[in-house]
Amino acid sequence: MAKKKFSWADRQLSVEKGFVPLMNKPLSMVLCYPNSYYVAMSSLGFQSMYFHINTHPSVFCDRAVVEDNQPVLGLMTKKPIGNFDIIALSVSYELDYFNIVKMLKKAGINLYRVQRASSDPLIIIGGIAITINPAPLSRLADVFVIGDGEEVINKIIDNYIERKTRSGDDVIEKIAAVDGVYCPSVHGEKSRIKRQVVADLDKYPSQSFVITKNTDFSDKFVIEFQRGCGRRCKFCAADHIYPRPRFRSKDHILEQIEKNLKITKKVGLMGVAVMSHPHINEILNQLIDWGVKSSVSSLRIESINKEILCRLKELGQKSVTLAPETGTDRLRFSINKRFTNELLLEKTHICATLGIREIKLYFMVGLPGETENDITALYELIKECAKFKIVIKAAVNPFIPKPHTPFQLEAMDFKKSLKYKINLLKKLLRTIPCVNLSFSSIKEAYLEGLICRADAQTGENIFLKGGFVNPLRLPEYKQDEKLCFPWDIVDIT
Ligand code: SF4
């Protein structure tokens, strides 16, 4: 008998554990992630939205991703995305907009909103990149979700269903009336939409609903502890959009972890302030009692102490991630990151003495006010950390000015200058053993810097016309009676 040939999608599905949606429902939707399956399934936002949409009694939601040499089909249904009623896209990163274009083109869908027929699928886009600035895709999408999407998405679906059953209503007009929704065809390109914030996170679990080895998490159950931060680092758009930290309750976190213990005993705790949870000690103790292997995505420097690290080590944490950003206290304090090199060295020493094998450090180059002294100091700082005989993984990224931050109108450092600084660091750090250095692409950083602050016309030039863009040139922002900048569509007050 001939062996059955499994498709690429079937191979992914065959190793998935956890949530499986009911398919036999009246409305079909596909949630697309404009990147690979691996990246998509490593996104808690994508996973959670997939689950939440499928809890709607009338909707079956499939998933679609971008893979080389693969058609863009629903993973479960194998249907082209153009055959679904609604296409929803979850986007975290501006450079993935190019993949949105790729997905829609492969599906034969017209990129221009105004040229699509009413029989074409409704295109909804959300995610943190969109909440920062939806303008560059405003001539492509029908609907944007601004802010936390959990409460908004089901209202959009309800309005869509109502329109399907009551002919004559204009679906977009109805959807545009939902709080947190931006519909450029109704609101225009100059409007003001309040970003939505889910007050009670427990109502909407955010975790790995589908567990697979083909993710960053690798067969681990990952749960979101909290959203928002409140530290106000001057470069951080996420913090300026969601300035208040919101925590899930201890009971919710433990209940979700316990439910998934039958699938895996590996648990990831995700959030920028996991250790600031008011019941963190009780949660960690319970995880130890359950015999769980666990790790925390990143730690705040002040939360590192012997007691906490011993607990985390007992749970299996092998590395610690910190973000000093700069090499000098002067520059670090100027961007509102308030800790000293001395403190970083003290905490690195504690990690090393307690047997943590690796410390990951995130830095930026090209920050406003940076001098060459800051770069050599960055080298000195890494060198001092490495003296504690611990593996140092240092990631260096160009600073990118983001909307809604105090740096939103800063220029990016010149390419030549960024190259010089990066080469200097490479040369200086080459001699130090146990230091593993990585850099992100300057070209991509420039493109991200352009797209995140782009207006509708620039977005059309780049994505719809596929035109040449000079990332060195920002669109000119003229003051007018209502709006100053393209991202002022998003009201973060
Ligand atoms: S960079 Fe980190 S600590 Fe600073 S505001 Fe953003 S999330 Fe908070």
Averaged pLDDT for residues 411-425: 95
Span between the terminal Cα atoms of the chain, in Å = 65
Q: Is 419 within the bounds of a domain?
A: yes
* Residue 229 near ligand 1, beta carbon < 6 Å: yes
Q: What's the structural domain count of the chain? A: 2
Last residue of a domain, one of 194, 211, 233: 194
Give the nearest ligand 1 atom to 229 CA. 8
Measured on CA atoms in the order 264, 265, 271, 272, is the torsion positive or negative?
negative
* Residue 241 near ligand 1, beta carbon < 6 Å: no
Q: Summarize pLDDT for 142-175 with one digit per residue, the tens.
A: 999 999 999 999 999 999 988 765 554 588 999 9
* Residue 325 near ligand 1, beta carbon < 6 Å: no
Measured on CA atoms in the order 339, 340, 341, 342, is the torsion positive or negative?
negative
CB 25 within 8 A of CB 60: yes
- Give me ligand 1 centre to Cα 232, in Å: 7
Give the nearest ligand 1 atom to 238 CA. 6
pLDDT of residue 483: 55
Q: Classify each residue of 354-366 as buried b or exposed e, where b means 16 or more C-beta atoms within 10 Å of its C-beta.
A: eebeebbbebbbb
Q: Is 469 within the bounds of a domain?
A: no
Q: pTM for the complete prediction?
A: 0.93
- For ligand 1, pick from 236, 322, 333, 362 the residue to mutate: most ligand atoms within 8 Å of CB: 236
- Give me ligand 1 centre to Cα 244, in Å: 11
pLDDT at 473 over 80: no
Last residue of a domain, one of 154, 171, 194: 194
pLDDT of residue 236: 96
Q: For the domain that residue 100 is a member of, what is the CATH number?
A: 3.40.50
| Nearest Cα residue to 143 out of 105, 113, 102 | 113
Last residue of a domain, one of 152, 174, 194: 194
**Amino acid (one-letter) located at 491:** D
Q: Is 249 within the bounds of a domain?
A: no
**DSSP one-letter string for 60-119:** EEEEEE--TT---B-TTT--BGGGSSEEEEE---GGGHHHHHHHHHHTT--S-GGGS-TT
Whether residues 331 and 182 fall in one domain: no
CA 191 to chain centre: 25
Q: For the domain that residue 421 is a member of, what is the CATH number?
A: 3.30.750.200
Q: For atom 6 of ligand 1, which residue has the closest CA?
A: 236
In whole angstroms, give the CA distance from residue 48 to residue 223. 10
* Residue 125 near ligand 1, beta carbon < 6 Å: no
* Residue 231 near ligand 1, beta carbon < 6 Å: yes
Cβ-based neighbour number of residue 310 at 10 Å:
12
Q: Summarize pLDDT for 432-457 with one digit per residue, the tens.
A: 888 999 999 999 999 999 999 999 99
Domain that holds residue 188: 10-194
Q: Summarize pLDDT for 24-82 with one digit per residue, the tens.
A: 999 999 999 999 999 999 999 999 999 999 999 999 999 999 999 899 999 999 999 99
E strand or H helix that includes residue 211: strand 210-211
**Looking at 72-81, 85-94, 294-303, 354-363, which range is the least confident one?**
294-303
Averaged pLDDT for residues 117-134: 95
What are 82's two structure tokens? 């153009």
- For ligand 1, pick from 244, 272, 332, 364 the residue to mutate: most ligand atoms within 8 Å of CB: 272
| Nearest Cα residue to 379 out of 418, 431, 330, 337 | 431
Q: Is 484 within the bounds of a domain?
A: no
Whether residues 153 and 20 fall in one domain: yes
Q: Is 257 within the bounds of a domain?
A: no
- For ligand 1, pick from 224, 232, 233 the residue to mutate: most ligand atoms within 8 Å of CB: 233
pLDDT band for position 476 (50/70/90)? low
* Residue 224 near ligand 1, beta carbon < 6 Å: no
| 3-state DSSP assignment of residue 364 | strand
Burial-class residue 174 by CB neighbours within 10 Å (0-12, 13-18, 19+). Answer: buried
Q: Is 252 within the bounds of a domain?
A: no
Q: Is 387 within the bounds of a domain?
A: yes
pLDDT of residue 406: 95
Q: For atom 2 of ligand 1, which residue has the closest CA?
A: 272
SS percent in the chain: helix, strand, coil, step 5: 40, 20, 45
| Nearest Cα residue to 70 out of 23, 114, 103 | 103
